[in-house]
């Protein structure tokens, strides 16, 4: 815990619906921490399109300096497609992920009360390796891992290393110990024998350190089918980057809506709460965006911090936020994507009010 029970949060509102959902999530965090005697110190940093207007870059140096000094971040979506051509690469998320080695992307998918879902008891965590794999923007020291030897031929390099796979496997097995004790290793080793075969084999090596955790493995296409057919039979999925991205989006939609899907990007020293959904510029400024994904991401951020530091008050606040979101949803505080009519502000107010009922 920081001096005098203050918890600094770096806040980057981002683009599109970010300036609508991010403040709601920070307000919920502050309300959840207040009964525990903890005050949120909000550190606002320029980011995205507004930073281009004010600083000439979507992630200016002042923002990078501020993030380096603050280990807990709340980050809204970015809309790099709307940036000037010369500022579109690297995308802001890629810059932050690479600069601060945010190698673990944790994406839970849990059905909310009152929201139609494939399986109401669904509770899946996708642990996604975030620094290499089959995504071409994160597997070369300079540039991207895609190239065209001729105008009619495009090629891509996929990178899987033992070191990166081992550390993400440890994240997955530690998470399973805190959950239901089952990890499913996802790969495509029948086709990508060397790359995803190495991923599978290293995960199995790590599994030997966790005899209390049940282990299974699936090809990625079979895993997608299993998510649709029997999501309540799945606990923790560990996957390389591309597979983890696709499966977590599928799981989020199956649990009700991508707008409700939270996400945490973390290194060993810092973490970034950033919901799975994008900037949604088509609904920006209308006050109808679903803030639940962002609120859940902030709850994950607090839990990450509480678990690392042993600060049980912060962990309790995270638990209270999750319980309050479920309570508010069950009582009808749902935006249009979840079948309701609530505004962004309505949902935030309902969750804050529910904190006193679930605490």
pLDDT, tens digit, 9 for 90 and up, residues 26-37: 999 999 999 999
Summarize pLDDT for 235-286 with one digit per residue, the tens: 999 999 999 999 999 999 999 888 899 999 999 999 999 999 999 999 999 9
The yes-or-no verdict on residue 232 having pLDDT over 60 is: yes
Q: Lowest mean pLDDT: which of 84-93, 199-208, 235-244, 262-271?
A: 84-93
**Secondary-structure breakdown of the chain: helix, strand, coil percentages, each rounded to the nearest 5:** 45, 20, 35
Q: Are 52 and 58 in contact (CB under 8 A)?
A: yes
List residues with catalytic annotation.
135, 188, 221, 245, 249
3-state secondary structure of 238: strand
* Structure-block tokens of residue 31: 């309300």
The yes-or-no verdict on residue 3 having pLDDT over 70 is: no
Summarize pLDDT for 185-198 with one digit per residue, the tens: 999 999 999 999 99
The yes-or-no verdict on residue 125 having pLDDT over 90 is: yes
DSSP string, 108-148: EEEPPTTS--S-TT-EEEEEEE-SSBT-GGGS-SSS-SEEE
> pLDDT over 90 for what percent of the chain?
88
How far is the C-alpha of 277 from the C-alpha of 321, rounded, in Å?
19
The yes-or-no verdict on residue 299 having pLDDT over 80 is: yes
Q: Are 351 and 27 in contact (CB under 8 A)?
A: no
- Our CA dihedral for 182, 187, 193, 197, rounded to 10 degrees, sits at -40
Average pLDDT, the chain: 95
The yes-or-no verdict on residue 14 having pLDDT over 80 is: yes
145 or 129: which leads in pLDDT: 129
3-state secondary structure of 282: coil
The yes-or-no verdict on residue 2 having pLDDT over 60 is: no
* Structure-block tokens of residue 238: 């560990």
Q: Do domains 1-107+258-359 and 118-254 have the same CATH topology?
A: yes
Other residues' Cβ atoms within 10 Å of the Cβ of residue 65: 11
Domain ranges of the chain: 1-107+258-359, 118-254
How far is the C-alpha of 297 from the C-alpha of 274, rounded, in Å?
6
Summarize pLDDT for 158-188 with one digit per residue, the tens: 999 999 999 999 999 999 999 999 999 999 9
How far is the C-alpha of 233 from the C-alpha of 358, rounded, in Å?
28
Show the CA angle centred on residue 139, arms to residues 133 and 144, nearest 5°. Answer: 125
Q: Which residue has the tokens 């282990």?
A: 215
Average pLDDT over residues 78-94: 92
CATH top-level class for 1-107+258-359? alpha beta
DSSP string, 19-54: HHHHHHHHHHHHHHHGGGT-EEEEEE---THHHHHH
Q: What is the pLDDT of residue 143?
A: 77
Query: Which CATH superfamily is 118-254 part of?
Result: Isopropylmalate Dehydrogenase (3.40.718.10)
How far is the C-alpha of 29 from the C-alpha of 298, rounded, in Å?
7
> pLDDT over 70 for what percent of the chain?
99
Summarize pLDDT for 131-151 with one digit per residue, the tens: 999 887 777 877 788 999 999
How far is the C-alpha of 262 from the C-alpha of 291, rounded, in Å?
10
């Amino acid at each position: 815990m920081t001096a005098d029970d203050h918890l600094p949060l770096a806040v980057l509102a981002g683009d599109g619906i970010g300036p609508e959902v991010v403040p709601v999530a920070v307000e919920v965090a502050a309300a959840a921490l207040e009964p525990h005697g903890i005050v949120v110190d909000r550190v606002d940093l320029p980011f995205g399109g507004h930073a281009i207007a004010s600083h000439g870059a979507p992630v200016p140096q002042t923002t990078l300096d501020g993030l380096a000094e603050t280990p807990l971040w709340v980050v809204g979506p970015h809309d790099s497609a709307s940036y000037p051509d010369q500022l579109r690469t690297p995308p802001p998320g890629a810059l932050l992920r690479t600069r601060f080695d945010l190698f673990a992307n944790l994406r839970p998918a849990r059905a909310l009360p009152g929201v139609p879902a494939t399986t109401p008891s669904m509770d899946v965590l996708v642990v996604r390796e975030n620094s290499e794999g089959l995504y071409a923007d994160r597997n070369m020291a300079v540039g991207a891992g895609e190239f065209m030897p001729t105008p009619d031929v495009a090629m891509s390099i996929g990178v899987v290393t033992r070191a990166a796979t081992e550390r993400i496997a440890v994240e997955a097995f530690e998470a399973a110990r805190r959950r239901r004790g089952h990890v499913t290793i996802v790969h495509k080793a029948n086709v990508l024998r060397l790359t995803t075969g190495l991923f599978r084999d290293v995960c199995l090596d790590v599994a030997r350190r966790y005899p209390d955790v049940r282990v299974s493995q699936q090809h990625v296409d079979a895993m997608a089918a299993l998510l649709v057919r029997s999501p309540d039979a799945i606990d923790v999925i560990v996957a390389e980057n591309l597979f983890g991205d696709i499966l977590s989006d599928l799981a989020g939609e199956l649990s009700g809506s991508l707008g409700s899907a939270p996400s945490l990007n973390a290194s060993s020293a810092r973490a970034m709460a950033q919901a799975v959904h994008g900037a949604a510029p088509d609904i920006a400024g209308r006050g109808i965006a679903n803030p639940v994904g962002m609120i859940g991401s902030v709850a994950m951020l607090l839990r990450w911090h509480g678990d690392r530091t042993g600060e049980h008050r912060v962990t309790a606040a995270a638990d209270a936020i999750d319980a309050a979101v479920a309570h508010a949803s069950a009582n009808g505080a749902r935006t249009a994507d979840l079948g309701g009519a609530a505004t962004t502000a309505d949902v935030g107010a309902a969750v804050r009010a529910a904190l006193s009922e679930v605490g």
